[in-house]
């Protein structure tokens, strides 16, 4: 049984397959009905959501399935009953389980007991559905370069210790990209994930590096990315972070250091004037609305791939 719990659950070759499938599903959204029946997909949220809920619900319906949203606050998974018991129960109702939760160990446990494929819709450590959508978006905007995404430089600015920093390292390395992550002292990626990204990059011709200086990190980048400085669950640290992160704001100065045709991504929600300037977020190099739409196509692809 295959799951999608972190980006490196797909090999580089499988990543290409899933991205190809996403492009195919985007071109013909109603042509494939792998969930016909309809089969039910459970989508559980232990944290806030907008894009993830909307894109999974719409996408599962387009695949012929029945999306069943489960409120994690009501279910109280791991408190009211064990993760293993919830997994066994939901696995008897649904063909696949999608979960947004806290620590990665929770979704690992869900996958161990569910008996159906489990997809990570964001944990504290990874957000692999977002990076699938992002790679699809980069492909679309960078055209048919020889080698696809390979060789492009992708820079992530901000909280490099957060789920997005980790997921860009792993997924970008798998795509053969040169991934740079840049954040303040104390906000660096987990060394084990960086090492894993480097091991993947060794096989794809990509690279994975920490570049502390945000200006150097942005130099010549084909793709410039940021994310909120305050991830869900870190709200108590918001006042301390605002000043520390200021030099990493993705603004006109940093964008000017990127390639002339650099594109800007942001997984949203965005805070204009904080991690990104309004001019950059709403400017001509931003492809964030395509990126948000592509969540649906990318997630349809991973669901189709896992249940095929
Ligand atoms: N790093 C952010 C991503 C939001 C989609 C968070 O975890 O809140």
Indicate the DSSP class of residue 8: G
> How many whole angstroms separate alpha carbon 275 and alpha carbon 214?
12
Q: Which residue(s) pair with 170 in the sheet?
A: none
pLDDT at residue number 68: 98
Q: What is the atom index within ligand 1 of the atom nearest the CA of 230? A: 8
User: Which one from 227, 241, 266, 299 is the annotated catalytic residue?
Assistant: 227
The answer to whether 119 and 303 are in contact (CB under 8 A) is yes
Choosing from 54, 165, 231, 299 the residue with most ligand 1 atoms within 8 A of its CB, the one to mutate for a pocket test is 231
The neighbour count for residue 141, using CB atoms within 10 Å, is 16
Instruction: Give the distance (Å) from ligand 1 centre to CA of residue 165.
Output: 10
Minimal CA–CA distance to 294: which of 276, 268, 274? 268
> How many whole angstroms separate alpha carbon 180 and alpha carbon 157?
8
pLDDT at residue number 237: 87
SS3 category, 120: strand
pLDDT in tens, the chain (308 residues): 999 999 999 999 999 999 999 999 999 999 999 999 999 999 999 999 999 999 999 999 999 999 999 999 999 999 999 999 999 999 999 999 999 999 999 999 999 999 999 999 999 999 999 999 999 999 999 977 777 899 999 999 999 999 999 999 999 999 999 999 999 999 999 999 999 999 999 999 999 999 999 999 999 999 999 999 999 999 988 888 989 999 999 999 999 999 999 999 999 999 999 999 999 999 999 999 999 999 999 999 999 999 99
E strand residue ranges, 173-305? 178-182, 207-210, 223-226, 263-266
263-266 β-sheet, strand order: 207-210, 178-182, 153-157, 223-226, 263-266
Q: Which residue(s) pair with 194 in the sheet?
A: none
> How many whole angstroms separate alpha carbon 11 and alpha carbon 38?
30
User: Which one from 6, 196, 295, 297 is the annotated catalytic residue?
Assistant: 295
> How many whole angstroms separate alpha carbon 29 and alpha carbon 249?
36
pLDDT at residue number 84: 98
Dump the DSSP string for 239-262: HHHHHHHGGG-B-HHHHHHS-TT-
The answer to whether 166 and 130 are in contact (CB under 8 A) is no
pLDDT at residue number 203: 98
SS3 category, 67: strand
């Amino acid at each position: 049984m295959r799951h999608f719990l972190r980006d490196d659950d797909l090999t580089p070759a499988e990543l290409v397959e899933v991205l190809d499938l996403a492009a195919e599903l985007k071109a013909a959204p109603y042509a494939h009905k792998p969930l016909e029946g309809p089969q039910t997909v459970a989508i559980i949220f232990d944290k806030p959501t907008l894009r993830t809920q909307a894109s999974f619900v719409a996408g599962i319906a387009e695949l012929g399935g029945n999306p069943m949203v489960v409120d994690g606050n009501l279910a109280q998974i791991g408190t009211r009953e064990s993760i293993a018991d919830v997994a066994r129960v939901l696995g008897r109702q649904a063909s696949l389980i999608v979960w947004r939760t806290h620590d990665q160990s929770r979704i690992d446990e869900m996958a161990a007991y569910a008996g159906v494929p489990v997809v990570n819709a964001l944990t504290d450590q990874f957000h692999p559905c977002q990076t699938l959508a992002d790679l699809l978006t980069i492909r679309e905007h960078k055209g048919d370069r020889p080698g696809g995404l390979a060789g492009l430089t992708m820079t992530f600015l901000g909280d490099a210790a957060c789920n997005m920093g980790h997921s860009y390292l792993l997924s970008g390395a798998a795509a053969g990209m040169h991934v740079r992550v840049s954040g303040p002292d104390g906000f660096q990626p987990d060394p084990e994930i960086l090492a894993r990204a480097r091991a993947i990059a060794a096989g794809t011709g990509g690279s994975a590096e920490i570049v502390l200086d945000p200006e150097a990190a942005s130099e010549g980048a084909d793709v410039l990315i940021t994310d909120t400085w305050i991830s869900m669950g870190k709200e108590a640290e918001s006042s301390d972070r605002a000043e520390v992160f200021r030099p990493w704001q993705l603004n006109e100065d940093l964008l000017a250091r990127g390639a002339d045709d650099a594109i800007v991504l942001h997984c949203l929600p965005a805070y204009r004037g904080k991690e990104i300037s309004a001019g950059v977020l709403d400017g001509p190099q931003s492809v964030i609305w395509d990126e948000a739409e592509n969540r649906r196509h990318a997630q349809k692809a991973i669901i189709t791939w896992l249940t095929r």
